Structure 1
């Protein structure tokens, strides 16, 4: 039986976990930690993604990522391939550094972000690698406590920005014993939202088998909206953020989705990513 496809949507937060092969160390010195973070930061920044929290343990990692324009799988694959290649070269080893494919969990409810950043930052304390006198160095918790972060892609999750956010995080630490780590398999979010995604998976086959000869083309749908609302096709397919044009464009995309067209082909027509179309579909459903 094949592995289930990943849920990969632009502008959503993901909790990513990766472990060393056979539980071996993936970081052996401070330079290794720094190099991994630099690779990740550069890759996220280039794709307009964000790093919201991280904890690099000696033999595994926890990172909270907001996906940008590039697929999450592409970002992680690029970073891990480059890091593994250089790690093996430096330490004279062969073979896989990471154990299997990474795990990723989409966050569908922002209220879970608070539990996640606590869970990620709590790892060194649970492993006995941090004391009150000595903070763990390879965690983003210091940035939530007020230290300036130099990573270009780093942003604090909503509710923890600015000076007020520092106090909020300190309050979170004081009450951490009351916090419960979310229980999840492939997602973190409300049951209603998870049902939407599972429904789209089940409907994919029937959508793909839709008889193309009986439906209106993407071009004709766009032309009809253009004529009805007195805007040009160039405006609809352009990058204008005018609210009226954006609303008309989204309405046209919803109709195209109802006709069975996929996010990729709709995205190509409007010069946008499939993730952009997927977000419209989620809000629509």
Structure 2
């Protein structure tokens, strides 16, 4: 069946999720996250888009983005080509890293815009990675509170209050509110969070990141895969975190 056409946003603003192919992890360490943020900055200059909020998770990325000179399809091909080339070189792998089709929803009201900003920033808390958003380096919350780098914070803060000091205080208060925000998300029924799982992989296999397991001799690799499954990691989760194919994991 043909794919359903994407809904077009009259404001040009979208909440977008980029996901690793087969739910594979796309950030194994901080160097990967820094490289992706640098790629966002570089492509922003070329494509003219605006980033209003972002959050880098283990195997997916949330972006609140407004189209500029280029269509989002072109934008994400540009971002993907740059980051994936570097990622494949670093981990001595080849092939795709991101799913071909990103997920998106239109954002056309100021109320929903603010809801999405909060939702994106609270992802690490809901995933159990941190208790305070300020402690998570890989989302845009700190750009509003500490120092602006490349996120366009003015639009968000102006919605809250034209006085910048009051706007920042309102922004922090809005994020502290108890809420049941539901926005575009990925369904996932993991028994362990990716953060918990990757720590088990690193500790069990004595490696720095999950990708290294691909380089082990087959008999050693398979022994570790079997042990990790016994520790509660699912086949799909191991596939995401290590990049090893589902068939190899099932045979281990």
2:169 aligned to which of 159, 167, 170 = 167
* 1:154 lines up with 2:152 in the alignment: yes
Report the counterpart of residue 143 of structure 2 in structure 1: 143
Q: Is the 8 A contact 2:10 2:108 kept in 1?
A: no
Using CA pairs under 8 Å that are at least 6 residues apart, name the structure with larger relative contact order, 1 or 2.
2
Q: How many Å separate the matches in 1 of 2:148 and 2:117? A: 16
Runs of 4+ more than 6 Å apart = none
TM-score by length of 1: 0.58
Q: Is the 8 A contact 2:54 2:120 kept in 1?
A: yes
SS at match of 1:62: strand
Q: Is the 8 A contact 1:53 1:65 kept in 2?
A: yes
Instruction: Tell me by how many angstroms 1:47 deviates.
Output: 3.0
Q: How many Å separate the matches in 1 of 2:184 and 2:53? A: 19
Give the root-mean-square deviation of aligned CA atoms. 2.3
Pairs aligned (count) = 181
User: Closer, same or farther in 2 for the Cα pair 1:16/1:182, shift >3 Å?
Assistant: closer
Report the counterpart of residue 79 of structure 1 in structure 2: 79
Instruction: Tell me by how many angstroms 1:14 deviates.
Output: 0.7
Instruction: Tell me by how many angstroms 1:5 deviates.
Output: 2.2
Q: How many Å separate the matches in 1 of 2:93 and 2:141? A: 32
Report the counterpart of residue 93 of structure 2 in structure 1: 93
Unmatched segments (≥5 aa) in structure 1: 185-285
1:20-39 CA distance string (max 9 Å, x none): 12222101221211111121
Unmatched segments (≥5 aa) in structure 2: 186-252
Q: How many Å separate the matches in 2 of 1:132 and 1:73? A: 34
